[in-house]
């Protein structure tokens, strides 16, 4: 990827009409970078080829596509279904459930004993996948900072030009992510 041209260099290259320079009509008015179509035109055939290639790939826990590798056998040390892993995971989920059910921010503000440090220790160990949404909403005190009607207001808001730039750049940044790899995908 070539570095972004300076403002002075951009004007002089547009005025001189040098070969190999980006034409003024092929740059995005919002970012100054070349538009998606000017850099790499997307043909319907190339999208089909990417879909076929992704069919033979696996998706990791974070949603990224990877070349298919030999699957782990259940019970192997790295396998998420190994007995030791599931036992510790169940114990951690139980601890997190108890913490979330009895959560009160006032309990953890002033005192610095072992009981008040327990949430910090649990956070370092990791929040179980099954409880992440509930845990972060509880820890961030979402119930008390909700703004009723805010989401609906944002939905009816008129799109801004920056939204198109963000939409295009997400696909460029995460071409191997299952939510962003297709135009108009889930993400």
Q: What integer pLDDT is reported at residue 16 of this predicted model?
A: 42
CB atoms within 10 A of CB 17: 9
Q: Is 24 a domain residue? A: no
CA torsion through residues 53, 54, 57, 60, sign: positive
Calculate helix-pair angle for 132-139, 83-101, nearest 10 degrees.
Answer: 30
Asked if the model's pLDDT at residue 111 lies above 70, the reply is no
pLDDT value, residue 75: 44
**Do the domain assignments include residue 89?**
yes
Q: Is 34 a domain residue?
A: no
Q: What CA dihedral angle connects 172, 173, 176 and 179, to 10 degrees?
A: -90
**Better pLDDT: 8 or 107:** 107
Threshold 0.85, pTM exceeds: no
Position 71 in a domain: no
pLDDT category at 107 given cuts 50, 70, 90 is low
Q: Answer yes or no: is 109 within a domain.
A: yes
Which tops the pLDDT comparison, 13 or 47? 47
CA distance 153 to 151: 5
Mean pLDDT over 103-110 rounds to 67
CA 106 from centroid of its chain's CA atoms: 32
For residue 148, pLDDT over 80 is answered with yes
Instruction: State the pLDDT at residue 156.
Output: 92
Residue 100 lies in a domain: yes
Q: The tokens 């949430």 sit on which residue?
A: 119
Whole-number Å distance between alpha carbons of 90 and 105: 25
DSSP E strands, the chain: 57-59, 65-67
Question: Is residue 175 within 8 Å of 181, Cβ to Cβ?
Answer: yes
Burial of 82 (0-12, 13-18, 19+ CB in 10 A): middle
| Least confident stretch, 65-74, 114-123, 130-139 | 65-74
Question: Can you give the residue range of the structural domain that contains 93?
Answer: 84-145
Tokens of 35: 């538009």
Q: Is 9 domain-assigned?
A: no
Over the stretch 24-59, which tens digit does the pLDDT of each residue have? 444 444 444 444 444 444 555 666 767 777 777 888
Domain count, the chain: 1
- Evaluate whether residue 97 is within a structural domain: yes
Percent of the chain surpassing pLDDT 90:
3
């Amino acid at each position: 990827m070539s570095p972004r041209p300076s403002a002075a260099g951009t004007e002089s290259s547009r005025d001189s009409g040098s070969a190999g320079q980006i034409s003024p009509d092929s740059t995005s008015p919002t970012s100054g970078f070349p538009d998606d179509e000017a850099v790499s035109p997307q043909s319907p055939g190339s999208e089909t080829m990417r879909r076929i290639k992704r069919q033979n790939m696996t998706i990791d826990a974070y949603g990224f596509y990877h070349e298919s590798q030999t699957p782990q056998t259940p019970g192997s040390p790295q396998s998420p279904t190994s007995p030791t892993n599931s036992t510790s995971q169940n114990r951690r989920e139980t601890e997190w459930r108890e913490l979330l059910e009895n959560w009160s921010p006032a309990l953890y503000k002033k005192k610095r004993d072992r009981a008040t440090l327990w949430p910090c220790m649990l956070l370092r160990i990791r929040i179980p996948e099954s409880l992440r949404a509930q845990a972060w909403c509880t820890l961030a005190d979402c119930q008390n900072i909700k703004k009723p009607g805010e989401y609906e207001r944002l939905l009816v808001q008129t799109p801004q030009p920056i939204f198109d730039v963000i939409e295009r750049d997400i696909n460029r940044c995460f071409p191997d992510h299952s939510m962003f790899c297709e135009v108009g995908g889930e993400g």
